[in-house]
């Protein structure tokens, strides 16, 4: 009995005799990767204004624009790994903003407001050129698959009474007018963007938002609206149009597309 009592007493004392577990120190966090400048290209004094530049990556090269104060903007193609200059175009004489150059396959499409140029990314040479002077054009272009999209208004009176959406294949430069939208004299139409949607029947449908800025003589300069159009590329018919789905002040943020 004494042996059993001693053993029971030992079992009661055993938890008290155990050592407190040592605190586990978590491993140090991995060191943040350090940024390393591979190369840099200093801009010359006449390239101080680089706001609104645009760029894209093509086969290990970066194609970008820079806004020269005098005489105009340039397009450069450089190796993304070494910074080596592949080619440059300094003969387009324009300031560059977003949506003025786009990339399609092995070509760069650039719009100056007076012309649209297609540039071969290998050589920097023109593939084709389109004169935009017969039209009123804001210089913004959009790329979807093999095509570049552009919208313009007639450059003769009555101004801004219609807007045409056109597209050209990047290889041929042959323009095709998809549709023309008539407008009254209340708003100045402008293309906001172009995107592609496949409907349940498998047709490619262009989603085309239009920003409509108010006519100064009627509404003042601070009023506008947004319309949205769906155009079927197979049937070449407008599937539907949503008019005036957003109203906004022209100098304030809005929910327009």
Per-residue pLDDT reduced to its tens digit, 119-163: 999 999 999 998 877 666 666 889 999 999 988 777 666 555 678
For Cα atoms 155, 148, 208, give the angle at the middle one, nearest 5 degrees.
Answer: 75
Beta bridge partners of 167: 149, 176
Query: pLDDT exceeding 90 applies to what percent of the chain?
Result: 30
Quick one: 207 exposed, middle or buried, by C-beta within 10 A (0-12, 13-18, 19+)? middle
Confidence band for 93, pLDDT divided at 50, 70 and 90? confident
Across residues 105-121, what is the average pLDDT?
A: 90
For Cα atoms 182, 217, 132, give the angle at the middle one, nearest 5 degrees.
Answer: 45
Token reading at 95: 């300031």
213-250 per-position pLDDT tens digit: 665 554 445 566 778 899 999 999 999 988 876 655 44
pTM for this entry: 0.73
């Amino acid at each position: 009995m004494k042996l059993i009592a001693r053993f029971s007493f030992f079992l009661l004392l055993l938890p008290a005799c155990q050592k407190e577990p040592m605190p586990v120190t978590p491993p140090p966090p991995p060191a943040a990767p350090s940024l390393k400048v591979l190369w840099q290209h200093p801009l010359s004094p006449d390239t101080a204004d680089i706001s609104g530049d645009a760029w894209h990556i093509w086969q290990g090269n970066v194609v970008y624009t820079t806004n020269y104060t005098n005489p105009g903007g340039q397009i450069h193609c450089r190796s993304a790994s070494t910074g080596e200059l592949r080619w440059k175009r300094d003969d387009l004489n324009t300031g560059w903003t977003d949506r003025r150059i786009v990339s399609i396959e092995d070509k760069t499409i650039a719009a100056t407001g007076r012309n649209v140029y297609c540039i071969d990314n290998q050589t920097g040479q023109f593939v084709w050129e389109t004169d935009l002077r017969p039209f009123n054009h804001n210089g913004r272009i959009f790329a979807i698959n093999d095509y570049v999209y552009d919208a313009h208004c007639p450059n003769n009176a009555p101004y801004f009474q219609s807007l045409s959406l056109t597209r050209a294949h990047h290889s041929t430069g042959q323009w095709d007018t998809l549709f023309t939208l008539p407008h009254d004299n209340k708003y100045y139409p402008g293309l906001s963007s172009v995107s592609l949607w496949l409907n349940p029947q498998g047709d490619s449908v262009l989603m085309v938002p239009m920003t409509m800025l108010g006519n100064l003589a009627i509404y003042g300069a601070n009023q506008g609206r947004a319309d949205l159009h769906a155009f079927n590329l197979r049937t070449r018919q407008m599937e539907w149009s949503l008019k005036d789905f957003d109203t906004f002040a022209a100098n304030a943020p809005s929910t327009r597309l």
